[in-house]
Structure 1
Amino acid sequence: MTDRLDWASDAIRLIEQDGAAVLVTQCIVDGSAPREAGTKILVSKSKILGTIGGGNLEHQATMQARRMLERDDVTHLLQDYPLGPLLRQCCGGHVRLLLERLDARDTGWLEHIASMAEQPGEHVLETRLDGTGQRKTLYRRKDWPHVLKTGFLGHDASLLPDNRPARDVCAVFFEQVSALPPAVMLFGAGHVGQAIAHVLSISPLPIRWFDSRPDYLGTRSGIEISHLTDPEEAVSSAPPAAIHLVLTHDHELDYRLTRAILQRGDFAFCGLIGSATKRARFIRRLREDSVPQAAISRLTSPIGLPEISGKAPATIAVAVAGQILQITGDAVSADTPRQASNASVLRA
């Protein structure tokens, strides 16, 4: 888990299963550390969800969380870990962890946070450490007065200047939480489409998958494949700033999809599988159909990172996933998969 809100529904599920869970947030990082600030894990008596980088830090944090599960009189702890001197980890930085014990008494605000997980936009999550208000409150980023991604406020609501201020003066921890990750519109369920869907299925990116062939419908890699009957309508149904990947079995269908995406204009990425010859033919037709040159120039074809060569479906899928990572940043590398695949990262 990273700096998004999808941990809240997982916390509710673990509370229902095990009675309580501990949310561990790596809130401050000084120097080198295995993961960045905002990374989270959830720990219950039987399961761990997510990772803060593994190694001795995660081991110690997990043991601390399990000790907290045995006590219902402790709501939170701030714990500092110098990775080199204390934990003998070679990265040698210093991290501060916030551990929060969650149980049935917390389901109200957890449900509210979970309901906001699919809302677009930048927000700031405030966690009160002094017990004077609701445990966590979500603010719109534009309404938050401070520019830091994470930090601590004192008891007078002022920003504490030190990166790791004394723990007894910390009244509030705040962290920016990122916008809803872009949707992937995947057109084509052949060998390459299946490989791409398989790779992306362990990412948090919401995926909408289409194919025009009835025999290819169903569910693969935990993703339902919808029947593509009207390409223009399918493109118009996409959310704004979506990532479009066009790789059907039919060049004419590819063209209609590509034209509709470029004409719509509000996409984050329009990728078309194929050769340089196919790209040239499509561009000529797009110009003949009066698609603006500014939109045509945003077409990416062939797709995939050029440094990763090869035509095998798995190779193409890895190259395309890397290309999407460049577009989306941390969203595609987060440790919490989409809900359909959550079971794959729960471990005893």
Structure 2
Amino acid sequence: MSTWLSALRRMQQESVSAVLVTVAQIQGSTPREPGARMLYTAEGQFDTIGGGHLEWRAAQIARAMLAADSDALADQRRLERIALGPSLGQCCGGVVFLCFERIDAGATSLRTWQALEQAWCSGTDRWRALPLDHDAPQQLLENDASGLGMPPEIIRHARQTQLVRDDQGRRWLLDLCRAHQPQVVLFGAGHVGAAIVKVLSTLPCRVLWVDEREDMFPPGLPPQIRIEATDVPNAAVDMAEPGAYYLVMTHSHALDQQLSERILKREDAAWFGLIGSITKRKQFEHRLSERGFSAAQLERMTCPIGIPGIYGKEPASIAIAVVAQLMQLWELRFTQPKPKAWPLSLATHALDGRG
């Protein structure tokens, strides 16, 4: 699936008009959270706001806006309240407020989306401020909306996309565009590595993908996937940010060991996973302990990788198990905003079956 932002940038480069649909606010039980987005064009859609009749109704509105081809504000930006009840054939029972904005090709608009994409790729959050009651252009904000006639703390205290009013009573969509976080550093561009990257490319994370064989990398990767084709993959360990998640699955056990040594020497790694069996783990533990690595350091190595209960050897099966494991670790990390230290050993033991 192509992300809405990558698709939007491509649509603008090709001078194709589109409608961006954003979940602006919710009440009760709904399929998606505020900030979920989907892009419509006359030919298709990208990403999802929850599927079913909700998307069907959103598609109707979006395509009507595209067909109108009007400069009237109602055909450019609009807010719709949609109840998820019997009239839509859904039983969620909640209410979704959807923001629709028509986006046509233009240099100013393109620069805005490019700036957002660059911020995302560098791991920086941005707020998108879109006026709903007047036709001023959208703005990208960091942490202050006071220049738009809003209290300065409104962004600092907010945690999600929301509808707000300025000091003149006009409505705005304040859309939190979270960056691609965290960073995954993956060594190995073989079948399993490629399958994992395919899944990670659909999630809010950034990937540094490393291999010695440049011809192994597929074309057309999204911007949050960065390729490093190098004769010295060990050096890429030091390129990673503090708090990165490492995955090692190269074509060579000797290289796997070299990378393991380099990663275990980093005290700021969030997690390190090594593909292989329990036998491989024992061999590596023996070799690394002979090279001076302590038991505490070896505890930080997860091998085998992947959540328990998925035992298929197909690349796609391994990818699902490994990405699920990463997502569990991310949930653990982001539901504990300021942990005293990374719970490496506990998380590692729980997820590779040792505890």
Q: TM-score, normalization: structure 1?
A: 0.77
1:116-127 matches, cutoff 5 A: 116-127=119-130
1:139–1:303 CA distance, 2 compared to 1 (3 A) = same
Deviations 1:141-197 (A, max 9, x none): 89733234232222328xxxxxxxxxxx55222233223223332223444334434
Cα deviation for residue 8 of structure 1 reads: 4.4
Partner residue of 1:81? 82
- Using a 3 Å threshold, how does the CA distance of structure 1 residues 298 and 176 change in structure 2: closer, same or farther? farther
User: Highest relative contact order (Cα 8 Å, sep 6+), 1 or 2?
Assistant: 1
Residue among 140, 143, 162 paired with 1:140: 143
Q: Is the CA contact 1:181–1:328 (under 8 Å) kept in the aligned structure 2? A: no
Q: Report deviation, 1:73.
A: 1.4
Q: Does the 8 Å contact 1:9/1:111 carry over to 2?
A: no
Find 1:152's aligned residue among 149, 163, 166.
163
Match of 2:64 among 43, 50, 67: 67
Stretch moving more, 277-286 or 56-65? 277-286
Q: How far has the Cα of 1:317 moved from its partner?
A: 2.2
Q: Is 1:38 aligned to 2:49, yes or no? A: no
TM-score (norm 2): 0.75
For 1:146 and 1:8, how far apart are their aligned partners in 2?
Answer: 26
Structure 1 residue 241 and structure 2 residue 254: aligned?
A: no
Q: How many angstroms does 1:139 deviate by?
A: 1.6
Change in Cα spacing, 1:147 to 1:205, as seen in structure 2 (3 Å) is: closer
Would you say the 8 A contact 1:198–1:221 is kept in 2?
A: no
- Given the superposition, is the C-alpha separation of residues 228 and 8 from structure 1 closer, same or farther in structure 2, using an over 3 Å criterion? closer
More deviation in 300-309 or 284-293? 284-293
Cα distance, 1:258 vs structure 2? 0.9
Q: Cα gap change, 1:26/1:243 in structure 2, threshold over 3 Å: closer, same or farther?
A: same
Given that 1:218 and 1:225 are in contact with CA atoms closer than 8 Å, whether structure 2 keeps it comes out as no
Change (3 A) 1:217 1:265: farther
Indicate if the aligned counterparts of 1:211 and 1:226 stay in contact, CA closer than 8 A.
yes
Distance in 1, matches of 2:143 and 2:294, equals 36
The change in CA–CA distance for 1:46 and 1:17 in structure 2 (over 3 A counts) is farther
Q: Residue 280 and residue 220 in structure 1: after superposition, are their counterparts in 2 closer, same or farther (change >3 A)?
A: same
Deviations 1:197-247 (A, max 9, x none): 4444555644443445x5x84334756976553242121223443322112
- Give the letter aligned to residue 72 of structure 2: D
Secondary structure of the residue that 1:264 maps to in structure 2? coil
SS in 2 for 1:271: strand
Change (3 A) 1:59 1:228: same
Q: Does 1:27 align with 2:24?
A: yes
- Secondary structure of 1:140's counterpart equals coil
Go from structure 1 to structure 2 and tell me whether the alpha carbon gap of 1:147 and 1:315 turns closer, same or farther (over 3 Å shift).
same
Q: How far apart, CA to CA, are the structure 2 residues paired with 1:56 and 1:170?
A: 30
Distance 1:221 1:303 in 2: 27
Q: Using the TM superposition, name which of 86-95 and 178-187 deviates more.
A: 178-187
Q: Which residue of 1 aligns with 2:209?
A: 209
1:173 corresponds in structure 2 to 173
Q: Does 2:264 correspond to 1:262? A: yes
Q: Which amino acid aligns with 1:109?
A: T
Cα pair distance change 1:148/1:86, threshold 3 Å: farther
TM-superposed CA distance for 1:268, in Å, is 3.0
1:192 is matched with 192
Whole-angstrom distance in 1 between the partners of 2:10 and 2:35: 21
Q: Secondary structure at the residue paired with 2:101?
A: strand
Between the aligned partners of 2:16 and 2:289, the Cα distance in structure 1 is 61
Amino acid at match of 1:113: L
Which digits, 9 at most, give the CA deviation of each residue in 1:47-101, with x for residues without a partner? 3222112211111111111111222212311100001043121222110001112
Aligned residue pairs: how many? 313
Amino acid at match of 1:218: M
Q: Hey, what does 1:161 align to over in structure 2?
A: none
Letter in 1 for 2:85: G
Q: Which runs of 5+ in 1 are unaligned?
A: 158-168, 330-348
1:187/1:245 contact within 8 Å kept: yes
Any conservation in 1 of the 2:190–2:250 contact (CA below 8 Å)? yes
SS, match of residue 243 in structure 2: coil
